[in-house]
Amino acid sequence: MTEKEYNKPEEIYSKVFRAGRRTYFFDVRETKAGDYYLTITESKKNMNEDGTFHYKKHKIYLYKEDFGKFKELLDDVTDFIIREKGEEVISEKHQKDFNPVAEEKAAEENEIAKEDAGEKEQNLSTNDFTDVNFDDI
């Protein structure tokens, strides 16, 4: 057995959650003292400029003494979000090619077009129409 294998923490139990381009790994590992702890890993698939892929990973190490407070705060903030914004997902914000700047510009252009149409409608006068006399018919 090599030293590298000896120092590698053993995975005891694992769960995986896939969410679009992100994958979350919940892994129970064992300390050298024989106790368990949790690692939460977020792995996100990204594309390099040359078209190849790489994965960006972030890890959280969570020990038993912190489980209660972590769970309490997680429950609190997730409940807050649901209370404030509901459970409905705003889908266009989750589109892969969503661009908030382009979205805002399109909304502004739409608003300007509406204002222009309203001004044109207000500027119409009776002089813009042909007078028709029905007595001649």
Amino acid at 30: E
Determine the average pLDDT of the residues in 94-113: 65
Indicate the average pLDDT of the chain: 79
Query: Which pLDDT value is given to residue 23?
Result: 94
Query: Which pLDDT value is given to residue 77?
Result: 97
43: CB partners within 8 A, 6+ apart = 22, 23, 24, 25, 55, 56, 57
Query: Which pLDDT value is given to residue 112?
Result: 72
* Pairwise CA distance, residues 102 & 108, whole Å: 10
* Pairwise CA distance, residues 106 & 111, whole Å: 9
* In the chain, % of residues over pLDDT 90: 41
SS3 86: coil
Query: Which pLDDT value is given to residue 109?
Result: 73
Residue 90 has pLDDT above 60, yes or no: yes
CA neighbor of 25 nearest in space, from 67, 55, 65: 55
Tokens of 55: 């994965």
* Pairwise CA distance, residues 11 & 37, whole Å: 10
Within 13 Å of residue 129, how many CA atoms lie on the same side as its CB? 7
Q: What is the largest CA-CA distance in the chain?
A: 110
* In the chain, % of residues over pLDDT 70: 61
The overall pTM is greater than 0.95: no
